[in-house]
Amino acid sequence: MRYRVVVAGGSVRGVIHEREGKECQDSIFTWRSKDKLEAYVAVSDGAGSYKYSKIGADLSVRLPLDFIRNQINLFLVNPEEMKCMMVDYIQAKLLNTSVNLGISMKELSATLHFVYLKRYRKINKCIIGSLGDGVIIAENEGHISVVAHPEKGEFANETYFLTMDQAKKKMNVCVKEYKGKVGFILLSDGAAESIYIRKTRSCNHKYCSQIFRWCDYYSKRKIEKIIKLNLEDGIFRKVSPDDCSIGVLRTSK
């Protein structure tokens, strides 16, 4: 079997933003190298209380990729130090954007969850990053687990954003190596309400397995069509009134 990696995703506006006439403030970004040995997926949720948070989310999902690719060897050796440098890099870009727009950087507040994968011979090396109340779920050779849990802020309904002073401390980054088939599901907090089980800090394995099966059998275009249909008409809309986003990354071996 030839090595295959697929990345896909989708976002839908929640009913609250629909009623208010506001756009979806989630953002998702996927990328795969031409040789198909590298892949990246990221999900960001713009802070609802800030007018320009969608711009912040759009920037946040893209900025880590170039930084990681340029510093990949150092990242694999010292992820904690490189995490701090990456947050500095992202915040500098956000600050520059806020200056150009004539707004406070806080107006660009957004969470960030990402997975970068690079194939080394027969090993999939992954850099997993999370900041905020989203969720990342991993599957490796049939074993499903939550690798990034949602983090709430000091008060109810608060979380952490890239624009905060605590971003370096609260951003979690780890390097993991997987042999064999591996996959990831990234969920914004709205989508996580339907799959993540807070009481047990686990996930709905049946639904996650179904998502991974889509990735095993379908093209990126079809996976994204199925994701959008499920976000618009499935359980997600019934459970959460918030914007919902799902990103997936899946290898064949």
Q: How confident is the model at residue 184 (pLDDT cuts 50, 70, 90)?
A: very high
Round to whole Å and give the CA distance between 205 and 187: 14
Instruction: Indicate the CATH number of 5-251 among 3.10.580.10, 3.60.40.10, 3.30.420.240, 3.40.50.1000.
Output: 3.60.40.10
Q: How confident is the model at residue 241 (pLDDT cuts 50, 70, 90)?
A: confident
Range 162-167 average pLDDT:
97
Average pLDDT, the chain: 93
Closest Cα partner for 63 from 191, 162, 164, 175? 162
Asked if the model's pLDDT at residue 228 lies above 70, the reply is yes
Q: Which secondary-structure segment (H or E) carries 160? A: none
Round to whole Å and give the CA distance between 13 and 19: 10
Asked if the model's pLDDT at residue 154 lies above 60, the reply is no
Burial of residue 220, with CB atoms counted within 10 A of its CB: 0-12 exposed, 13-18 middle, 19 or more buried: middle
Asked if the model's pLDDT at residue 157 lies above 70, the reply is no
Closest Cα partner for 84 from 31, 129, 46? 129
At 70-97, the pLDDT tens digits run 999 999 999 999 999 999 999 999 999 9
DSSP one-letter code for 132? S
Asked if the model's pLDDT at residue 225 lies above 80, the reply is yes
At 6-29, the pLDDT tens digits run 999 999 998 877 777 788 899 999
State residue 247's pLDDT score: 98
Closest Cα partner for 75 from 137, 123, 118? 118
CA distances, 114 to each of 17, 25, 30, 146 (Å):
25, 17, 10, 14
Per the listing, tokens 């990328």 go with 31
State residue 236's pLDDT score: 82
Range 136-159 average pLDDT:
86
Hey, is 30 helix, strand or coil?
Answer: strand
Residues 6+ apart with CB under 8 A from 65: 29, 31, 40, 42, 116
Residues 6+ apart with CB under 8 A from 249: 5, 6, 7, 30, 39, 40, 41, 115, 117, 183, 184, 186
CB 126 within 8 A of CB 117: yes
Asked if the model's pLDDT at residue 202 lies above 80, the reply is yes
DSSP one-letter code for 152? B
DSSP one-letter code for 36? S
Q: Which two tokens stand for residue 49?
A: 């209380």
Please tell me which residue, 252 or 186, carries the higher pLDDT value: 186
Range 23-47 average pLDDT:
96
State residue 16's pLDDT score: 78
- The full length of the chain comes to 253
State residue 1's pLDDT score: 67
Question: Which of the residue ranges 52-66, 102-116, 153-167, 220-234 would you say has the lowest mean pLDDT?
Answer: 153-167
Please tell me which residue, 245 or 156, carries the higher pLDDT value: 245
State residue 206's pLDDT score: 95
Annotated domain spans of the chain: 5-251
Closest Cα partner for 242 from 8, 9, 26, 10? 26
Q: Please state whether the predicted TM-score (pTM) of the whole model is above 0.85.
A: yes
Asked if the model's pLDDT at residue 234 lies above 90, the reply is no
High-pLDDT (> 70) share of the chain, %:
98
